[in-house]
Structure 1
Amino acid sequence: MSRARRRRELVIERLTELRDPSLGGGPEPAFRERLREDLVSGRLLLSAPGEERAPGPARPPVRRRRPPLSQLATFGLAGVMVIAAFATYQAVPGDTLYPLKRAAESTLVHLSADDAERGERELASAETRAKEVASLLGSSTDSPLVGETLKDMEDSTRSGISRLTRTQPRSSKIKKFAQKQRDVVEPMLDQLNEAQKGQAAGYLDYIEGLVAPAR
């Protein structure tokens, strides 16, 4: 006997009981009509005693989407970080972000894998100092920051050259660096005061020896 047939018989038995006058009167005709329609259409589901309904298919997990406001905040923060990094890279002596720029350069130097890489990064810092001097000269030739930056440029140059000549004595990078620095520093001489000009001239004499061919 199928389950559907068993459920129909249970319903018929229940209807028979409801028609029994001893139970205080049967159900209203309208109720019986609605019940019959539900049974025919399958909308009424009755389970036999001890029978359990089969579990339905598991629903796929619902992925929670991040609120639009949170996404905008994330993009905004990323944009601010990019702008801050660019502003730090463009900072010159005297700017608020300049110490952060120098700290980042120093960190890169100390994180270098070996002396050769450390020397190359120090020469890169020297090139940056030369560009900063040129930027400062466009605003004021009497600023003490010009002299300080010239000294930092020379210190980075000597340290970087020392490391490279010890690890890569015949590296072509040394000559290329010296030529590039000479082309940047020489045009500054006419804009420097006497003390600054002495610093720049001594620096040019030093790197000129790096450009000249070895005998």
Structure 2
Amino acid sequence: MDVPGWSGRDLEVISDLRRLGDAANPDAETRERIRNGLLERLAGGDRPGGRRRVLAEVLAAAVALAIALAGLGLVLSKDALPGDALYGIKRAGESAELGLTFGDSAKAQRLLEFASNRLDELTALGDASPAVYLSTLADFQREAKAGTAELTKVATQGSGRQLGELRTWSLDQHEKLLAAQGGVPSGAFGEFVGSAELLSRIEARAQTLQARLDCFQITTGQTDELGAVPQAGSCEPPVDTFTGAQPPAPVPIPPSSGQLPAQDVSTSTVPVTPAPPTPLPAPAPSQAPTAVEAPVPAPTSPRAPTTTSSSPPPLISIPPVLPGLPGVGIG
């Protein structure tokens, strides 16, 4: 039977739910027994604390019934596809499962698992509408980005083992995406190409980070939609790593103890020619040398002339006292 707006799978699920409801429907005798039991409990509720106890039991039964129905819905929605009536229950179960997962690495793995489920659903969609394909591919991209960002952050802060797992995951999902290419409608092909490009970027990011695990600096300290951004350039530490600042300016070397400090240091490349020494002024010709005073004559002797002779004084030579010794000259 074809019903407009409902697929054959939806009608099968509805039929199964109806059969489960009929099986759980009690007969008239059972309903009467339950009714009498409730009335008896309510009749005894006039005692202190009796009504409160009955109300607590009813609420507990209601909660147990809700949990049972929710568990049944999760079991039935395990194979639900986008567009099915139970697909919302399936996604709600995944959100609850993610909330109960502890640890950054475990959450990242769970997100990547959900993204892989989206590609499994994409392969099984068949002749679904382009809107369903677009929604499934958008969910895949969102979960793949979130899982990759969390996993790269954990990997770069630890041993980096998760980067190899991320590369393997991206290659596997690329094969799934190519397998589903034939059924993707033209209206969703742009989103399909975007998903393929995203997987290539994830694989390249994991490969680059994995190659820098032995470097002095693995990441730049910044993040994007794929998580940690790898550092570019050399793996060696920079020059100013251990000083923590720019290299200091060169300090002039002080002169040694045997040298006098220079008065002026010129940085010009032009050679400096020393100035010639200033000649001392010659003594006046009329002025006698001050080293030897003129002889003072006696009062009764005639005055000696004051003119000085320009000829040198006579040289007096004394022969050596002992043979082999030099002679002594005076004058």
Task: Considering Cα pairs closer than 8 Å and 6+ residues apart, tell me whether 1 or 2 has the greater RCO.
Answer: 1
In the other structure, the counterpart of 2:152 is: 165
- TM-score w.r.t. structure 2 length? 0.38
- TM-score w.r.t. structure 1 length? 0.57
Match of 2:167 among 151, 172, 175: 175
In the other structure, the counterpart of 1:205 is: 197
What percentage of residue pairs aligned between the two structures are identical? 23
The structure having more radius of gyration, on CA atoms, is 2
Query: Residues 204, 143 of structure 1: CA spacing in aligned structure 2 closer, same or farther, 3 A cutoff?
Result: closer
Moved more, 83-92 or 166-175: 83-92
Report if aligned partners of 2:119, 2:173 keep a CA contact under 8 Å in 1.
Answer: yes
In the other structure, the counterpart of 1:115 is: 104
Aligned-pair distance for 1:199? 0.9
Q: 1:137-187: per-residue Cα shift (whole Å, max 9, x none)?
A: x233x3411110110011000000000001124312211210111010012
**Aligned alpha-carbon RMSD (Å):** 2.5
Q: Does 1:139 align with 2:127?
A: yes
Aligned length: 138
In the other structure, the counterpart of 2:84 is: 95
Query: Residues 139, 190 of structure 1: CA spacing in aligned structure 2 closer, same or farther, 3 A cutoff?
Result: closer
Q: Secondary structure at the match of 2:82?
A: coil
Q: Which runs of 5+ in 2 are unaligned?
A: 1-29, 31-64, 212-331
Q: 1:51-90: per-residue Cα shift (whole Å, max 9, x none)?
A: xxxxxxxxxxxxxxxxxx9xxxxxxx9x998875442111
Higher strand share: 2
Q: Does 1:129 align with 2:118?
A: yes
Q: Does 1:185 align with 2:177?
A: yes
Report if aligned partners of 2:74, 2:90 keep a CA contact under 8 Å in 1.
Answer: no
In the other structure, the counterpart of 1:37 is: none
Query: Residues 156, 81 of structure 1: CA spacing in aligned structure 2 closer, same or farther, 3 A cutoff?
Result: closer
Higher helix share: 1
Query: Residues 160, 151 of structure 1: CA spacing in aligned structure 2 closer, same or farther, 3 A cutoff?
Result: same
